Amino acid sequence: MGRWQGHSKRLASGARYHYARKKKIYEMGRPPAETVIGPRKIKKVRTRGGNTKLKTYIADVVNVSDPATGKTQKVEIDEVESNPASTEYTRRKIITKGAILNTKMGKVRVTSRPGQDGVVNGIIIRD
């Protein structure tokens, strides 16, 4: 059973919407990657039009950019401190865009989308 990403069965007013056609395969979605910390695991997924996405399921390093110096370096991820996307993601230590990670360089905010880009990029947070 696939995930359907079409319109809701309800209108914004709450009224029921009646469809003029069936569900289409191009409206189908996939489950999220839900990237966690561990030894690196990436999968290549074919998308619509023959394009590809790299999905990061497990990551152990983050590319940290320091805007003050203009340098970027790879740093190991210690833990996921918080994830504003969801409190459930914070509890389960899932990395998404906007998540705050603890590293040896300090706190890092994720700027990439690991479940779609195949890489974890971040920017250092200065307090």
DSSP state string for 108-124: EEE-S-HHHHSS-EEEE
In tens, the pLDDT along 51-97 reads: 999 999 999 999 999 999 999 999 999 999 999 999 999 999 999 99
pTM, rounded to two decimals: 0.84
Number of domains the chain contains: 1
90, part of any domain: yes
If you average pLDDT over residues 12-37, what whole number do you get? 92
40, part of any domain: yes
63, part of any domain: yes
Determine the Cα–Cα distance for residues 55 and 17; give it in Å rounded to an integer.
34
19, part of any domain: no
12, part of any domain: no
Q: 40 is in which domain, residue-wise?
A: 33-124
